[in-house]
Amino acid sequence: MKNKYLCSHCKNEINVDDEIVLIAKNNLGEKGLVFLKTKLGDYSSKFSSGFSVAEGDKVTFSCPICHHNLTNKKNNQLAHFIQEDENKKQFHIIISQIYGENYTYKLEEQKIVETFGDHLSRYQNPDWFLLV
């Protein structure tokens, strides 16, 4: 069985097969859908037609079900959702909301379990995950 990805607010499933589906809002206030890979560390993504983002732009992610903003409470450059494994064990997933910034932290409670990406050094201050 594959991992499920859940909204950190409503706890509904936000993935379809191997893609996480989120609402994205770009710097211009335009909205569209973004499709991220469920495999942590795979930074390929797709956007709905008519929605564009340039490298380095901040994109704000929201749940496609409850529309709750997934921005991390301590650092607005980061987003937060939940990964649930086949044993129903849950992990907090923290990703960058800066397009092209490859950064992912997988947390269990307040401990780092795994990290992914080339830009991890940009967010090494541990305070950002104390309030996921």
- pLDDT at residue 132, rounded to an integer: 47
Per-residue pLDDT tens listing for the chain (132 residues): 589 999 999 999 999 999 999 999 999 999 999 999 999 999 999 999 999 899 999 999 999 999 999 998 888 899 999 999 999 999 999 999 999 999 898 999 878 888 887 766 666 655 555 554
- Find the domain containing 42 and state its range: 4-129
- pLDDT at residue 36, rounded to an integer: 96
Nearest Cα residue to 43 out of 96, 109, 82, 80:
96
Prediction pTM value: 0.89
Answer left, alpha or beta for residue 41, where phi above 0 means left and psi between -120 and 50 means alpha.
Answer: left
Domains identified in the chain, total number: 1
